[in-house]
Amino acid sequence: MSVFTRPDSPYYWLFLEPTRTKENTKIRIGTTRLEKKDSKTIADALYHKRMLELANGVHRATIQPITFDAWVTIYDRDHIATHKGRVRERQILPRLRAAFGAHLLTEIDRDVVLAWRAKRLTTPTIVERFGGTKGTRRVIPPPSASTVKREINLLKSILKAAVPKYLTASPIAGVGGLGTSQKIVVRQKRVMTKDEEAKMLAGFQNPADALVFMIAVDSLLRLSDVIDLRKVDVERGALRALDPKNGVEIDIPLSPRVRAGIAALPDNNYSAFLFPHRRTATADDPAESEALRTHAYLTLCRRVAARVKVPWGKKVGGNTFHWSTRRTGAIRLLRTGTSSDIVSVVQAIGGWKDSDMLLREYNEVTQDEMRAAIDKLHGVAK
């Protein structure tokens, strides 16, 4: 083990594999659970530092110097280009370049990253002309803990990929969570009510956009899959789609209202797609094109929700597109109980690989349902 304890010592010890030696860290183990956790984190960091020192002593001559900015260019070309989430990762890269670009990779260590992280979590962003040259000055609050964690995770991947050509080991492999003062808030997921759904559907000025939303609710498809639907996918009275996560092609029965909505669509003989007006955004990278199209529709949803007074966005405890469609649709189907094996039915429609994920994330109960169950068991309070 790299960090270990001894029954005859109140301190953590290190076992350094390259030299087969043991070192006393002089870091007390502590007595409470919190003390032990904090001291173990410090000991792990010390172990990592000592291993880097040993590695640098052995391999220093073989390490090639390169700046973070130069390495990120290579990483983007050879690594990110193959990632499914490359669009999101490329949105993060400019911020990491601004923070570490001029540094040599060997200059980026745990202390440098922790200092940047602390500043990132507490520093607002000032935009002098928000929205364009005629925009007004806006102060954007510091990012959430989850956003910074996502950025650090990408930074970890970038530095890890530089081993062994440019680094002997990743200098931030031991950087863990965001600390007790910056807890990541797990917000309660919403289920869209029938009234909210009716308001949203009525709020779309283009009936085709309302149909996109409706298909996502009734067929449990993700937004990008709805936008990718072709006319041939719905010609047989069922919706044929390819689940992107497991590569399985599935046929989903069309609900009566979706069938009626498709029949009412205007003729668009110029396109093979069901919603060609949602496919105008294009880029060289297909993944970027998909991101542009979904972003445009999500922006429309936010505007519609604001206009019809439907709460929207996690920060205000409102709906999101995924919660309002795939999540809400799955929960509604589970509640129907129309089959003795309704879980398997919903799993097949939504394309989930196993029922555990479905039941863990979508078997939702509402406050009203919990209250009704308690009242039924214990009686309604007088």
Residue 301 scores a pLDDT above 90:
yes
Residue 73's pLDDT is 94
**pLDDT category of residue 250 using cuts at 50, 70 and 90:** confident
Q: Decide if 39 contacts 27 (C-beta within 8 A).
A: yes
pTM of the model: 0.65
pLDDT above 70 as % of the chain: 86
Residue 272: HSE in the Cβ half-sphere, 13 Å Cα cutoff: 4
Kindly report, residue by residue over 341-361, the tens digit of the pLDDT: 788 888 888 877 777 777 777
Residue 19 scores a pLDDT above 90:
no
**pLDDT category of residue 382 using cuts at 50, 70 and 90:** very low
The full set of domain ranges for the chain reads 3-61, 63-161, 194-326
Residue 62's pLDDT is 58
Residue 97 scores a pLDDT above 90:
yes
**In 3-state terms, what secondary structure has residue 230?**
strand
Name the residue with tokens 């990253």: 113
Q: Which residue has the higher pLDDT, 2 or 200?
A: 200
Locate the DSSP E strands across the chain. Answer: 3-5, 11-16, 21-28, 125-127, 138-140, 238-242, 249-253
Q: What does the angle CA 338 – CA 343 – CA 346 come to, to the nearest 5 degrees?
A: 80
Q: Decide if 157 contacts 149 (C-beta within 8 A).
A: no
| Residue-by-residue DSSP string for 35-58 | HHHHHHHHHHHHHHHHHHHHHHHH
Q: What is the CATH number of domain 194-326?
A: 1.10.443.10
pLDDT above 90 as % of the chain: 30
Gap between the terminal Cα atoms of the chain? 62
Residues 6+ apart with CB under 8 A from 265: 207, 208, 211, 274
